[in-house]
Amino acid sequence: ITTYPWLLALPKVELHIHLEGMLEPELMLSLARKNGIQLPFNTIGQLYEAYRFNQLQDFLDIYYQGAQVLITQQDFYDLTWHYLKKCQQQNIVHAEPFFDPQTHTARGIPFGDVIEGISAALTDAREKHGITSHLIMCFLRHLSEIDAFNTLEQAKPFLDCLTAVGLDSSEKGHPPEKFSRVFNQAKTLGLLTVAHAGEEGPALNIWSAINTLGVSRIDHGVTAIDDTKLIDYLVGTQLPLTVCPLSNVKLAIFPEMSKHCILNLLEKGVCVTVNSDDPAYFGGYLTENFYALSQSLNLTQTQAHKMLVNAIQASFANDNRKQAML
Ligand code: ADE
Ligand code: ZN
């Protein structure tokens, strides 16, 4: 990164980052000790050993295990604060993180502890460091529609803390339309919507997220490259894709970074953005994702700049904030 100071210096916006995915091995093990949680891993070495994934599900299994060390409101604050410190270091000036409440409420952690811990850290970062943010609550798509409705119900007292709902977890076998009714209810509550689609699943899932969930953005969406009609649609509407290069290579969506389609999509005129997804698991935060593109795909400064402008436009920031970032 030292050879690319312009990457670090660029003010950046991140639109696809899971709070549970920023749980670094050190923090995971120290929280496990503090909270008396048994993990199948005892050392940082064992954790890195386990972080070899052949597909999305391999990662998700470990990611949900790791999240079990998060117990108290302060744990959620500390986790979020760790990312916001990274934002400072990497010159990320605006972020729209996801969290997965069902991972925690299923273990008996009160919904309020999760969202209040996260929101307090986001507020502190805004006041102390000027980092703006919007929080997105994701439903786990491998769980039932009823479970998602119950989660939305639990969120009702905290709507002030939320901007949007999203959809994540196992894409195969759980297409977007499974959640059209709960997304409709979220919209009636004034929430925006986004969804993971076209990560491991087909371009058809991207169409479904657009047509049945009314999303403002698609998270991942890289399989759009297989569907020329969809590419035309994405170019015409400028519906953004939040692409996560290091994640896609770690989860074998692409065999290596030089085969990643992000710059093809960009050159076709799709509104693509660069994001880190789960940086503690995939080997890099936002700057490292840009860096990987510059190393393997000869990303130019013009292309990097275009994708950052895309991210500002695609964000849920208000017009004043967008202007200030442009
Ligand atoms: N949850 C965290 N990271 C995810 C990803 N890349 N895909 C689906 N669900 C996720
Ligand atoms: Zn994701």
% residues pLDDT > 90 (the chain): 97
For residue 262, the model assigns a pLDDT of 98
Q: Which atom of ligand 1 is nearest to the CA of 278?
A: 3
Q: Which atom of ligand 1 is nearest to the CA of 21?
A: 2
pTM of the model: 0.98
Q: Which residues pair with 5 in a beta bridge?
A: none
User: What is the pLDDT confidence band of residue 1, given thresholds at 50, 70 and 90?
Assistant: very low
16 annotated ligand binder = yes
Mean pLDDT of 11-24: 97
Mean pLDDT of 207-211: 98
Residue 286: closest CA among 90, 142, 123: 90
Q: What is the mean pLDDT of the chain?
A: 97
CA of 295 to the centre of ligand 1 (A): 25
CA of 277 to the centre of ligand 1 (A): 7
Per domain, the residue ranges of the chain are 5-325
Q: Which atom of ligand 1 is nearest to the CA of 169?
A: 9
Q: Which atom of ligand 1 is nearest to the CA of 100?
A: 1
pLDDT at 2 over 90: no
| C-alpha span between 92 and 10 (Å, rounded) | 9
Find the ligand nearest to 250 CA: 1
pLDDT tens digits, one per residue of 234-274: 999 999 999 999 999 999 999 999 999 999 999 999 999 99
User: What is the pLDDT confidence band of residue 44, given thresholds at 50, 70 and 90?
Assistant: very high
Residue nearest to atom 6 of ligand 1 (CA): 277
For residue 3, the model assigns a pLDDT of 55
pLDDT tens digits, one per residue of 142-196: 999 999 999 999 999 999 999 999 999 999 999 999 999 999 999 999 999 999 9
CA of 199 to the centre of ligand 2 (A): 9
Q: Is the separation of the CB atoms in 103 and 147 below 8 Å?
A: no
104 annotated ligand binder = no
277 annotated ligand binder = yes
26 is catalytic: no
Q: Report residues whose beta carbon is within 6 angstroms of any ligand 1 atom.
A: 18, 21, 56, 63, 168-169, 196, 199, 247, 277-278
E strands of 127-252, at which residues? 132-133, 136-140, 164-168, 192-197, 217-220, 241-243
Of 14, 24, 96, 199, catalytic = 199
Q: Using CB atoms within 10 A of its CB, is residue 21 exposed (0-12), middle (13-18) or buried (19+)? A: buried
Q: Is the separation of the CB atoms in 222 and 241 below 8 Å?
A: yes
pLDDT tens digits, one per residue of 283-311: 999 999 999 999 999 999 999 999 999 99
CA of 60 to the centre of ligand 1 (A): 7
278 annotated ligand binder = yes
Domain 5-325, what architecture? Alpha-Beta Barrel (3.20)
